[in-house]
Homo-oligomer: A and B are copies of this chain.
Amino acid sequence: MLEIPDKPPEGAQKALIEAGLALFGQKGFDATSTRELAERAGVNLALITYHFGGKDGLRRAVVGEVARRLLAVAGAPQPSEGLTPAAALQRLQTILRGVAVFIGTAPEAGPLVNFALAELARGGPMTDLIYEGFIGPKHAELSQLWAIASGKNADSEAVKLAVFAMIGQVLYFRLGREIVTRKMGWTSIGPDEAGRIADLIAENLRLLTEGERE
């Protein structure tokens, strides 16, 4: 059974997971050899099998670590009952701004998000862990906030789809990072650029939820 670890790993395990996170995210799982992983982690090749049972076991461990970190970035879900529409909108904006700045500027965000997206796109067995541990609860929280802000029902199809569209807006700035920087004439996405992206998304949220309320 797959689980999300409570505590960060240590020693050789930590080094291997770190190497897996970087290399899997950058080059993809299949393009990364066990020898590369061991070299990058500074440990012996045989330790992959010893600690994780094999390369695929390391993948599972990396997924668990990804879920753990995403949860930390997104913050624990908070009850949203009793919020006014304006307060719900503000909390939505705060959450998405934090995510936008994180995926735009945090050095470790690139491989982490790339790895998570690749796992999700494949729809393989790792999807479950990422979904149940992170996306499921977070989506529910966002849906409730969106429902309050827009005056609609949290369980309605419109609200659930709207939350997906909102997530897509944020993620594309990581996935299409090459395209974005090129088209915008930026050299990279730093704090300034991530801030402007966050501003746009926050404003879009306001327009969408207020428009829905009328």
Chain A residues with CB under 8 Å of chain B are 27-31, 114, 117-118, 120-123, 127, 131, 135-136, 139, 157-158, 160-162, 164-165, 167-173, 175-180, 182-184, 196-197, 200-201, 204, 207-208, 210-212
Contacts and interface: CB of A to CB of B under 8 A. Distances in A.
A127 B183 CA distance: 13
Query: 10 nearest interchain CB pairs?
Result: A168-B172, A207-B211, A30-B31, A30-B30, A123-B178, A165-B169, A168-B168, A168-B169, A161-B200, A127-B178
Chain A, interface SS category: helix
Contacts of A204: 162, 165, 208
A173 B183 contact: no
Contacts of A183: 136, 139, 160, 164
A212 B207 contact: yes
A199 to B, nearest CB: 9
With a 10 A CB-CB cut-off, give which of A27, A117, A168 has the most chain B CB atoms: A168
Nearest to A177: B123
A122 to B, nearest CB: 8
Contact of A169 (B117, B169, B182, B211): B169
Contacts of A170: 168
A15 to B, nearest CB: 23
Contacts of A31: 29-30
Given A183-B139, A197-B161, A120 B208 contact: no
Given A118-B121, A131-B182, 12 more contacts: A30-B31, A117-B175, A121-B175, A123-B177, A131-B178, A165-B204, A167-B176, A168-B168, A168-B169, A168-B171, A207-B207, A210-B211
Contacts of A180: 164
Contacts of A169: 165, 168-169
Nearest to A197: B161
14 contacts: A28-B30, A29-B31, A120-B176, A123-B177, A139-B183, A160-B183, A161-B184, A164-B172, A165-B172, A168-B173, A169-B169, A171-B172, A207-B207, A207-B208
